[in-house]
Structure 1
């Protein structure tokens, strides 16, 4: 995992993408006991466009964006793919575009955490909860339960995120 994080930091430094942050189950394990997961979800914001503004890839652009990451990784010797993932130092990594305002906000406000002396950017636990609510799968409901029990959620910050992204009703439904 340490070397995988180093590669992600190199990709960002080299401009393959502007910003990354770890999310999903692996992101949650930075705040809770380890969760079962098969891959490392890495949310990314695309590289700067011609005008210098940052552009987040849309679903239509995600194939081109995906190709850019894969080309950069192939250039570093990472050729093996596993489903939607690229193996980086044996870790299956899935690159996910910042596909909506919640994920874009989560990426902007992600926290840098040290993992074995390597900086890693991880989505805040409150954003992980909000993304789980928005995604709405059974495993997301379970992840919300675990984060509520084990993570130190900033309740005021969480309430603001839920309000901004119209997730308050779903939060009530899932937590009552």
Structure 2
């Protein structure tokens, strides 16, 4: 993974992407028990990604990676040093906030390889995104965060309020018989 993250960091230096943050299962691994994943989800922002039609295009990323020899696709990702990387452009205000508030960490790869710096989404933004998307695996991830108390309840509640996810949260808590920590952390 070190080489994959080195490539991502170089993409920022080369101004192919403005910034990135690791999301999904790999980001969650920093806070809760690991889960099996086949790819690396990368939330990205980049300046000139919109086409004339207004649609986002990953052409600058694909072209850059192809010039470095990364042309294999596996599922939804481009394979970069053995890892399928799924580039997810910022698509909504929650994504933009999550990317802006991502934290920089040093990921220890191994004693021989050392560590590499990377941006990772906060626990609360991982949870809010999982709540917004709402797939079964997202519900499992939310439950893991709750059971491990691996998040700040006040911060999470502020995020779900800002992004109008309160109704989804109440429904999630009711469906899975989870005590709604929102009620104890919400400011009057």
TM-score of the pair, normalised by structure 1: 0.89
Q: Where does structure 1 lack aligned partners over 5 or more consecutive residues?
A: 50-54
**Residues 59-98 of structure 1: matches in 2 within 5 Å?**
61-62=55-56, 64=57, 66-98=58-90
Residue deviations 1:20-75 (CA, integer Å, cap 9, x gap): 0011111111111111111100000113x5xxxxx789x9533x2x1110111111
Which structure has more relative contact order (CA 8 Å, sep 6+)? It is 1
1:146 equivalent among 129, 144, 148 = 144
Q: Where does structure 2 lack aligned partners over 5 or more consecutive residues?
A: 109-114, 179-188
Residue deviations 1:80-131 (CA, integer Å, cap 9, x gap): 1112210011001000010000010000000111112211101101000000
Give the RMSD, CA atoms, in angstroms.
Answer: 1.8
1:150 Cα deviation from its structure 2 partner: 2.7
- The answer to whether the 8 A contact 1:32-1:151 is kept is no
Give the aligned partner of residue 181 of structure 2.
Answer: none
- The answer to whether the 8 A contact 2:32-2:150 is kept is no
- The answer to whether the 8 A contact 2:12-2:19 is kept is yes
SS of corresponding position for 1:92: strand
- The answer to whether the 8 A contact 1:56-1:97 is kept is no
Give the aligned partner of residue 109 of structure 1.
Answer: 101
In the alignment, structure 1 residue 119 sits paired with structure 2 residue 117: yes
1:100 equivalent among 87, 92, 96 = 92
Larger Rg: 2
Which stretch of structure 1 is more off in the superposition, 141-150 or 103-112? 141-150
Give the aligned partner of residue 29 of structure 1.
Answer: 29
Query: Using the alignment, how far apart are the partners of 1:17 and 1:148 within structure 2?
Result: 33
- The answer to whether the 8 A contact 1:43-1:95 is kept is yes
TM-score of the pair, normalised by structure 2: 0.83
